């Protein structure tokens, strides 16, 4: 005799085990706090609070917690979870040789946004009498697009187009439902083209002119390639000699750029061994460039102006 009002067995994925430890499955760094949640694939909510590489602004429940229970249809909820995990771990698509699978991992905070987009898509399908993903046609997609372009901006619609295409990109992974074989929404067109979104081209900020950018780049290369090693080499001894130098200035009124003759030799800052090296950088020795910088700083101090990085012309003249 048949059992009336039997509760249907929960759907299980044929791709991922319900007890799969998500954090162990993903290539992520974790915080050293054993009390933080360890979500499983079968959970109705994936809490990513234990991830170390989450921006501070995103450490709020609405940004790091994917709530699958908002998707009422259990078959679509399972499909969304399967696609979501494949987005988090691109190795899934690579191992199954899925041509449209993502090659880089989707950040968990972006997955949370995907859940909201998928919920919008599923809600629209239910409102228009679509019972399964295999019933979706291009006519449904076009009707949805017309409505969404009225409700939100083209950039947001482009992101939603990419989201609903995920169920075609990862159709081979889906257990309970999928688009019809061979169906792909708006084939041959990018998501931006579908949404009618056009990029603005160049930035509106003016380009830095060459007469400014040239000297800036030359000085930056000098600081990184030549002066930087000398500064790092002198750093350990700088703290020991700086207080004594200030005392000598206060008591003797000496120049800010020279040591008084009365200062004991062993109290002066030891010279960096790398400062006298002649390692060639872009065809110019370190010694010559350091000498040039010193003369530039001296002339700047003589004019009571703040020291500045050597210009390209000064470097060439050294």
Which residues sit opposite 221 in a β-bridge?
none
User: Over the stretch 210-242, which tens digit does the pLDDT of each residue have?
Assistant: 999 999 999 999 999 999 888 888 877 765 655
Residue 47 lies in a domain: yes
Residues 38 and 91 placed together within one structural domain of the fold: yes
Q: What is the distance of C-alpha 197 from the center of its chain?
A: 23
Residues 306 and 174 placed together within one structural domain of the fold: no
Residues 161 and 281 placed together within one structural domain of the fold: no
Residues 147 and 216 placed together within one structural domain of the fold: no
Residue 9 lies in a domain: no
Q: Residue 45 belongs to what domain range?
A: 22-195
Count other C-beta atoms under 10 Å from residue 153's C-beta. Answer: 12
Residues 151 and 229 placed together within one structural domain of the fold: no
For the chain, how far is it from start to end, CA to CA, in angstroms?
100
| Tokens standing for residue 75 | 């078959």
Residue 305 lies in a domain: yes
Residue 301 lies in a domain: yes
Residues 86 and 158 placed together within one structural domain of the fold: yes
Residue 245 lies in a domain: no
- Going residue by residue through the chain, which has 318 residues, state the pLDDT in tens, using 9 for 90 and above: 444 444 455 689 999 999 999 999 998 999 999 999 999 999 999 999 999 999 888 899 899 999 999 999 999 999 999 999 999 999 999 999 999 999 999 999 999 999 999 999 999 999 999 999 999 999 999 999 999 999 999 999 999 999 999 999 999 999 999 999 999 999 999 999 999 987 766 677 888 899 999 999 999 999 999 998 888 888 777 656 555 544 445 455 554 545 455 555 554 454 544 444 444 444 444 444 444 444 444 444 444 444 444 444 444 444
Q: Which of 136, 166, 195 is the last residue of a domain?
A: 195
Q: Which of 195, 224, 258 is the last residue of a domain?
A: 195
Residue 251, pLDDT score = 52
Residue 251 lies in a domain: no
Residues 68 and 190 placed together within one structural domain of the fold: yes
User: Over the stretch 282-315, which tens digit does the pLDDT of each residue have?
Assistant: 444 444 444 444 444 444 444 444 444 444 444 4
Total tally of structural domains belonging to the chain? 2
Residue 203 lies in a domain: no
Cα 294 to Cα 284: distance, rounded to the nearest angstrom: 16
Residues 223 and 186 placed together within one structural domain of the fold: no
**Burial zone of 98 (CB within 10 Å; 0-12 exposed, 13-18 middle, 19+ buried):** middle
Residues 58 and 182 placed together within one structural domain of the fold: yes
Token pair 């998928």 is found at: 118
Residues 67 and 182 placed together within one structural domain of the fold: yes
Residues 155 and 217 placed together within one structural domain of the fold: no
User: How large is the angle between the packed helices 154-169 and 138-151, nearest 10 degrees?
Assistant: 150
Candidates 238, 82, 105, 55; CA nearest to 175 is 82
Residues 186 and 293 placed together within one structural domain of the fold: no
This model's pTM is above 0.85: no
């Amino acid at each position: 005799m048949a059992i009336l009002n039997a509760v249907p067995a929960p759907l299980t994925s044929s791709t991922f085990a319900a007890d799969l430890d998500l954090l162990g499955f993903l290539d992520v760094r974790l915080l050293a706090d054993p009390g933080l949640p360890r979500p499983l694939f079968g959970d109705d909510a994936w809490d990513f609070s234990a991830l170390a590489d989450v921006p501070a602004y995103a450490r709020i429940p609405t940004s790091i917690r994917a709530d699958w229970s908002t998707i009422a249809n259990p078959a679509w909820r399972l499909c969304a979870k399967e696609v979501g995990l494949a987005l988090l771990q691109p190795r899934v698509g690579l191992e199954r040789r899925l041509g449209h699978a993502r090659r880089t991992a989707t950040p968990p905070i972006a997955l949370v946004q995907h859940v909201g987009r998928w919920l919008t898509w599923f809600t629209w399908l239910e409102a228009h009498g679509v019972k399964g993903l295999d019933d979706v046609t291009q006519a449904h997609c076009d009707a949805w697009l017309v409505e969404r372009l009225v409700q939100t901006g083209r950039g947001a619609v482009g992101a939603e187009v990419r989201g609903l295409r995920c169920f075609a990109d990862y159709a081979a992974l889906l257990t309970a439902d999928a688009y019809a074989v061979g169906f792909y929404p708006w084939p041959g067109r990018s998501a931006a083209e579908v949404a009618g979104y056009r990029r603005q081209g160049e930035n509106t900020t003016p380009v830095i002119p060459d007469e400014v950018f040239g000297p800036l780049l030359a000085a930056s290369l000098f600081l990184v390639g030549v002066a930087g090693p000398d500064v790092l080499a002198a750093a350990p001894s700088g703290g020991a000699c700086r207080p004594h130098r200030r005392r000598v200035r206060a008591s003797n009124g000496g120049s800010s750029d020279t040591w008084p003759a009365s200062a004991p030799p062993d109290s002066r800052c030891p010279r960096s061994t790398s400062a006298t090296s002649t390692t060639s950088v872009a065809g110019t020795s370190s010694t010559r460039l350091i000498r040039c910088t010193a003369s530039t700083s001296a002339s700047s101090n003589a004019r009571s102006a703040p020291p500045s990085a050597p210009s390209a012309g000064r470097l060439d003249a050294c």
